[in-house]
Chain A
Amino acid sequence: MDIVVTVKQVPDPDIPPTHFKVDESAKKVIPPAGVSPVMNGYDAHALEAALRLKEQLGGKVTVVSLGGDSARDTLKRAIAMGADAAVHINDPSLNEADSTTTARALAAAIKKLEHVDLVLCGRQASDTDGGQVHLGVAAHLGLPAVSPVQKIDEASAESLAVERIVEDGYQRLRVRLPALLGVSSEINEPRYPPLKGIMAAGRAQIPVWGAADLGLDAAAGKVNLRRLYVETREAHVELIEADSLTEAGARLADKLREARLV
C-alpha cells in the first residue's frame, strides 16, 4: 500500500507558553532561544499509522510538507522514523499561505506522485488548530475523507475499517481506497527513530518543489494577519469603606447600579 503523509512543522508545543514572546509590530511569535520547531503531534500519529500499515501490507510511505527551509528537519525526522521518501514544498510565494492555498499545494504535490492508495494527515496542527487543510486536500484530490480517526484495522489493499470520533462515542466505517484520513492522537504512540533511521535521514536527498513545479498561480490566498497580541486582562479592586455593614451594603448596591451591573 502506497501512503502519503502530510506533515507540518510547528513551534514545540511542550514548551510552556510563558517562554514565548510576541512581537506585535512584526506580528510574529518569538520562541525562546535554542528551541527548535518540531513535527506537529497529530502528524506524527498519522506517520506512525502509515508506518504500521506499511509493516503489515508492504508498500511505500512518502511524507510531504509545505514550509520554509527549516521544515526540511521535520521531513528528515519522518525519514528517520521510517518514511521511504519525502517531498518539500518550499516557495517564497507560499509563505503565510492560508488553509485553502496550503491544501491546494499539498494536493498538487500528491497528484504528482506516481501512485497513492491512502493519504494520512493529522486532524489539525497545534499552532493554528484550524483543522481545515486535510479536508481541503481531500476535496482537491476528489477523495473520500474521514476525520478524526482514532483506529484503523482490517486493512487490505482495497479497504480499511476505521473508527471516527463523534460526540459521545465513535462510528465504525469501512472506507474504500483510495481515501484520506484525518488522524487523531488516540490511534497510537509515535515511535522514536532508530539510529539506522537517523543515519539514513542524514544521507537522504529531499527534492524541493516550488509553486511553478506544482502549477500553482502566484497570487495564492494568504493569511492577512491584522494584529497579533497577548490578551491582557485587567482587574481592579476597590474597597468600600463604611462605618457599618448596612451602610457598606448600601454603597456597594449604588456602585453596582452605577456600573449597570444590577
Chain B
Amino acid sequence: MPTRQIGWNVSEVAFAAMYLLVAVQALVLAYGFTRRYLTWRRGRPYGPIDQVGERLRQALAVAFVHRRLIRPGYVYAGLMHLFIFWGFVVLFIGTLIVLLEADIARPYFGFSFYQGAFYVVYKLVINLFGLLFLIGLLMAVYRRYLQKLPKFRRSLSDDAIVLGILLFLGLTGFLLEALRLSATRDEAAPIHWVAYPLSLALNGVDPSILAGAHAVTWWSHMLANTALLVYIPVSKLAHIVTGPTNVFLRATDARAALPLIKNIEEQEHFGVAKLDDFNWKQLVNFDACMRCGRCLDFCPTFNTGKPLKPRQLIVEVGAYMNRRAGLFAGPAGPRISEAGVRGSELTSPDEPSLAQVALAADLIGDVVSEDELWDCTTCRACMEQCPVRIEHVPLIVEMRRNLVLEQSRFPQELVLLFNNLERNGNPYSFPASSRADWAAAAGVQELSAVADPSELEVIYWVGCMSSFDARNQRVATALAKILTAAGVKFAILGKEESCSGDPARRAGNEYLYQILAQTNIERLNQYQPKRVVASCPHCFNTLKNEYPQLGGTFEVVHHSQLIQELIDSGRLRAPEAVRDGRMAYHDPCYLGRYNQVYDAPREVMNRVEGGFVELPRCRDRGFCCGAGGARAFMEEKRGTRISHNRLNEAIGTEASGVAVACPFCVTMFEDGVRALNVEERFAVRDIAEIVADGL
C-alpha cells in the first residue's frame, strides 16, 4: 500500500526543534497582528458594523474566489495571485493533514489514514498545487521585474524578499520530496508527479549523500518557513489578514456619500491633521495595501505626472503610522528603503525616502504634501480598482477638511469659489437672481410660477453650470425640449435653486456644503417633488446620496435615465440620428463609478445614433475629465492636462466626437478641443443635445 514514513531521515532533536519553531511562529504572528490592531485602535470610533453576513460574504469572496482580483484587464495578475494563494492554502492544509496523522490519529487513536488511495490522491493534489504555486510565483517575478510596467519601475526590497522566500519554500519542498523518493527508492514515486522526474535524475547519487542533502534541505525549508511566518506581520504579506479585514470593514452605507460631520457648529476640531484623527477603519486602510498599483492604472493624477499617486500616499502614511507606533514598519518602512526609494512610483531619487517620511513630524506637509491633497479629482478610479477596497477619496477629503475648516490653508482659487458660493449660491460671480435667465428664453417655467406644483411629474434640477455657463445652457435647453416633446410636466426651481454643495464638500468645506444643502432641502421639501431629474451628475449624486444624511430624501434620476425611460415607454418617439460617423461615449465619474449608471447613456446612444464608439478606458475603468473634487475651479499647474489625456484617447479612435452626460465634462472637453486645435473636426456633445437634435 502506498504511503511514506513520516519523519524519514529526521532526528528526534530536529522534530523537537520543529515543534518549538512552530510555537515561536504562532507567537510572533499573534504578537505582530496584535500590535497592528492596537495601532488601529488609536483612531477615532467607527461603526456600527452592520450587515455582518454580507460583509463576511464579500471578504471571503475576495479572499477565496478572488472577486475584484480577477476582472477585465487583470486576468494575468488575477490568475497569478490565484495560483499563489491556492498553492499556499492547499500546501498548508497538506501540512496539517500530515500533522493530524502523526500527532493525533496515530498516537491517540491508533488509526492511520495517510496511506492507500487517500495517499495517492493527496500526493497528486499536493504536487499539482505545489506546481501552481511555483507558476504563480514565476508569473509574479515576470510581472514585477521583467514586464517593465511603469507602475513597477521601482520596487522595494520587501517585494524581492517575499518572492524570494516563497520561491525558496516551493523549490525546497519539491527537492525534499525528490531526495526522499530517490534515497528510499520509493515504489510510489510516479504519483509524486512533479518531484518524480527530479528524483529520477538523482537516482545515480550515493544514498548517503542523498540523505545528507535531505537533512540540509529539511532544515533550510524549516527555517525559511519560520522566516516567512515571522515576516508576515511586518511586510506586505500582512495583507493576508488586513486585506480581507479591510473589505469586511468597508463603508456600506450609500456608497457614494462622504461621511457627514454631525453638529458641525459644536465641533472643536475638523477633519484629519494627525493620524489619531482618522477613524480606526481608515487606519486599517494603510495596512491593507500590498502595493499592486491598480489604483494607479486609471488615476488621472498619476497618469498626467502630478504629485498625487494614491499608492504612494497609502504606503507612506502606512510607514509613518507603524513607525510612530513603535513597530518595525517592515522593509516598506525605514530600514531597508534608505537607498532613497520613495514608495515605488515614478519619482525622482531626490525626493524624500520612506525613511524620512516615517520619521517626519507632521502628517500634512511632511508625509502628505498639500499639493497631493489638492490634486485629487475624487474620481474614485483608485477605490474602484483596489482589490481590498482601500477608500482613498474619503481619506483625502478628511485632510482637506482640516486644511479648510481649521487651518484656512488652500489654493487661492478656492477662496473665490467659497466666496461666490456663500454670496451668490453659485461658483461664479453671477447674482442668484439671474439664475433662471436662460429659462425665460427657452420657455421653461419656474416652480414659483406654477399654480399647482403637485401636478408636476418632475422638477428639473438644472445646476449651476447649465444655469450660467452659455455652453451648458444649450444642454439645459435641449433637455427642456426633450421633456416638452415627451409631454412631461416639469418646472425648474430657478432662482430658488442654489449650488448643491458638491464642490464645497469635495474641497473640504463641509460647513458651506451643509448650509447650501439645507437651503436646498428646505426648498425641495416645500414643493414635495414626485421626482427630481438632474443633468449634472455631481448634483445628481449629492441630491441622491448625500442629502438623505441631512433629512432630504428624494427620488432623483439622471437625465440619461429619464431619456431612456421616455424612449422605452414610447412617450418620446425615437429620435433620428442626424450625424454621420459615430461618437465616443465618455463615462462621467459621478454618474458611472459613483452611481453605476453605465448603461442608460449607452442605451440612449444606441437608440438615437445607432451605436457609439467604446473607448479603451470605459465604464468602471473610465478616465476622469479632470473637473471633479472642485478641480474645475482650480488651475491645473502640475503635470500635463487630464482632459487632454482623455481627449487624445478619444481622438485616437475612429469617433467623430465625444458624447458626455455631464456639464463639467462638456466644459473640460470644449476647452480641450480648442487647446488641441481639433474643434473643427471633433465635436463635444451632451447626450441631451444629441437626442434633441434628432427630434
Contacts A12-B423, A38-B423, A192-B418; A33 near B408 (Cβ below 8 A): no
- Chain A residues with CB under 8 A of B429: 12, 14-16
- Chain A residues with CB under 8 A of B495: 33-34
Is there contact, CB below 8 Å, between B406 and A194? Answer: yes
- CB < 8 Å neighbour of A35 from B267, B404, B419, B433: B433
Is there contact, CB below 8 Å, between A194 and B434? Answer: no
Residue A142 CB within 8 A of the other chain: no
The main secondary structure of chain B at its interface with chain A is helix
Residue B424 CB within 8 A of the other chain: yes
- Chain B residues with CB under 8 A of A14: 420, 429
Residue of A nearest to B429 (CB): A14
- Min CB distance B159 to A, Å, is 43
Is there contact, CB below 8 Å, between B431 and A192? Answer: no
Is there contact, CB below 8 Å, between A33 and B431? Answer: yes
Query: Which stretch in B379-387, B409-417, B452-460 binds the other chain?
Result: B409-417
Residue B405 CB within 8 A of the other chain: yes
Contacts A19-B431, A195-B270; A35 near B408 (Cβ below 8 A): no
Contacts A191-B408, A194-B406, A195-B405; A33 near B433 (Cβ below 8 A): yes
Within 8 A of A (CB), among B426-447: 429-434
Is there contact, CB below 8 Å, between A198 and B511? Answer: yes
Within 8 A of B (CB), among A187-211: 189-199, 202
Is there contact, CB below 8 Å, between A192 and B406? Answer: no
Residue B23 CB within 8 A of the other chain: no
- Min CB distance A111 to B, Å, is 33
- What's the Cα separation between A68 and B72 when bound, in Å? 66
- Min CB distance B55 to A, Å, is 34
- Chain B residues with CB under 8 A of A33: 431-433, 495
Query: In the complex, which range does the number of interface residues on chain B fall in?
Result: 20 to 34
Is there contact, CB below 8 Å, between B405 and A34? Answer: no
- What's the Cα separation between A195 and B407 when bound, in Å? 9
Within 8 A of A (CB), among B84-122: none
Is there contact, CB below 8 Å, between A194 and B431? Answer: no
- What's the Cα separation between A34 and B434 when bound, in Å? 10
- CB < 8 Å neighbour of B419 from A31, A192, A195, A202: A192
- What's the Cα separation between A192 and B414 when bound, in Å? 9
- What's the Cα separation between A31 and B433 when bound, in Å? 10
Residue A32 CB within 8 A of the other chain: yes
- What's the Cα separation between A202 and B511 when bound, in Å? 14
- Chain B residues with CB under 8 A of A192: 404, 408, 410, 414-415, 418-419
- Min CB distance A185 to B, Å, is 13
- Chain B residues with CB under 8 A of A156: none
- Min CB distance B507 to A, Å, is 11
Residue A95 CB within 8 A of the other chain: no
Most chain B CB neighbours (cut-off 10 Å) among A35, A36, A198: A35
Is there contact, CB below 8 Å, between A35 and B423? Answer: yes
Most chain A CB neighbours (cut-off 10 Å) among B264, B425, B429: B429
- CB < 8 Å neighbour of A195 from B406, B415, B425: B406
- Min CB distance A32 to B, Å, is 4
- What's the Cα separation between A19 and B424 when bound, in Å? 13
Chain B 381-410 against A: per-residue CB contact (8 Å), 1 yes, 0 no?
000000000000000000000001111101
- Chain A residues with CB under 8 A of B415: 189-192
Residue of B nearest to A33 (CB): B433
Is there contact, CB below 8 Å, between B423 and A32? Answer: no
- CB < 8 Å neighbour of A193 from B408, B410, B423: B408
- Chain A residues with CB under 8 A of B405: 194-195
Residue B680 CB within 8 A of the other chain: no
- Chain B residues with CB under 8 A of A199: 265
Residue of B nearest to A14 (CB): B429
> Which B residues contact A (CB, under 8 angstroms)?
264-265, 267-268, 270, 404-408, 410, 412, 414-415, 418-420, 423-425, 429-434, 495, 511
Known: A14-B420, A195-B264. 20 other contacts (CB 8 A): A12-B423, A14-B429, A15-B430, A16-B429, A16-B430, A32-B432, A34-B425, A35-B424, A35-B433, A36-B423, A190-B415, A191-B415, A192-B408, A192-B415, A192-B418, A192-B419, A195-B270, A197-B408, A198-B511, A202-B265
The contact sample of 30 A-B pairs, CB cut-off 8 A, is A12-B423, A12-B429, A15-B424, A15-B431, A16-B430, A19-B431, A19-B433, A19-B434, A32-B431, A32-B432, A32-B433, A33-B431, A34-B425, A34-B432, A34-B495, A35-B424, A35-B431, A38-B419, A190-B415, A191-B408, A192-B404, A192-B414, A192-B418, A194-B404, A195-B270, A195-B405, A196-B268, A196-B406, A197-B408, A202-B265
The 10 closest A-B pairs by CB, nearest first: A32-B431, A14-B429, A195-B405, A33-B433, A34-B432, A194-B408, A32-B433, A35-B431, A192-B415, A191-B408
